[in-house]
């Protein structure tokens, strides 16, 4: 298990008495500098479910994602969550059950990541990553079906790169972010043209 990766980070974050609860605030506090990567993953991942086929679904996760990304862009060392978000959580036993179910596929994905290109994972780079993530969150707010899968995938690659300190994965995630912006721009232009607005 890669201690710097997603599986290791999650296992560390939910460790504790079996009869307790795990909240988002707990996750952020335990993950310290890896908190940004984890939160980007948690707010982007739901958009890879069938939900994005429903216009407006991605907005629910885009708003807290934008708040987290804004903190990154400001250079704040550790993410801070609003109290109502920080209190969200579930029983630790349930969290462990979920982790056990997803641990194998996540571990397989993590084999693709390893520490490299450190400059793209440092504090200065994270400010730019935060700015890009704000743009991607803005795309997720737009009420377009299916297309949110692209910026969400980009953000997940970014988050995994940050968690594994893999600058090459971060670079790939940034490239996907640019692709997502291009696709959304094309969709908006085509939509405006179809409506006779352009």
Phi, psi at 35, each rounded to 5°: -60, -35
pLDDT for the residue 90:
81
**Cβ contacts of 3 within 8 Å, gap of 6 or more:** 9, 12
pLDDT for the residue 163:
83
pLDDT for the residue 134:
94
Q: What is the C-alpha separation between 42 and 24, in angstroms, rounded?
A: 10
pLDDT for the residue 141:
83
Q: What is the C-alpha separation between 188 and 106, in angstroms, rounded?
A: 34
**Alpha helices per DSSP H over the chain:** 6-13, 24-31, 35-44, 59-74, 83-86, 92-110, 123-141, 149-164, 167-194
pLDDT for the residue 73:
93
pLDDT for the residue 3:
47
Predicted TM-score (pTM) of the model is: 0.79
pLDDT for the residue 2:
44
Q: What is the C-alpha separation between 76 and 192, in angstroms, rounded?
A: 39
Contact 27, 99 (CB under 8 A): no
pLDDT for the residue 1:
35
**Cβ contacts of 40 within 8 Å, gap of 6 or more:** 65, 68, 69, 133, 155, 156, 158, 159, 162
Q: Considering only CA atoms, which of 117, 120, 141, 114 is closest in space to residue 47? A: 141
What are the 10-residue block averages of pLDDT along the chain, 198 residues in total?
Answer: 60 78 81 80 79 65 89 88 80 82 79 86 89 91 76 90 89 92 82 66
Phi, psi at 162, each rounded to 5°: -65, -45
């Amino acid at each position: 298990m890669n201690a710097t990766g997603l599986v290791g980070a999650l296992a560390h974050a939910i460790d504790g008495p079996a009869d307790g609860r795990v909240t988002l605030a707990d996750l952020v506090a335990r993950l310290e500098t890896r908190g940004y990567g984890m939160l980007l993953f948690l707010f982007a991942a739901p958009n890879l479910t069938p939900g994005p086929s429903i216009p407006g679904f991605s907005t629910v996760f885009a708003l807290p994602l934008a708040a987290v990304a804004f903190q990154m862009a400001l250079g704040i060392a550790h993410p801070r969550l609003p109290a109502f978000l920080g209190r969200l959580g579930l029983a630790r036993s349930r969290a462990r059950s979920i982790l056990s179910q997803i641990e194998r596929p996540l571990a397989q994905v993590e084999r693709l990541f390893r520490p490299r290109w450190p400059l793209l994972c440092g504090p200065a780079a994270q400010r730019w990553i935060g700015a890009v993530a704000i743009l991607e969150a803005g795309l997720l707010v737009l009420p377009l079906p299916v297309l949110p899968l692209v910026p969400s995938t980009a953000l997940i690659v970014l988050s995994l790169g940050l968690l594994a300190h893999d600058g090459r994965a971060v670079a790939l995630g940034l490239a996907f972010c640019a692709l997502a912006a291009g696709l959304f721009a094309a969709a908006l232009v085509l939509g405006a043209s179809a409506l006779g607005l352009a």
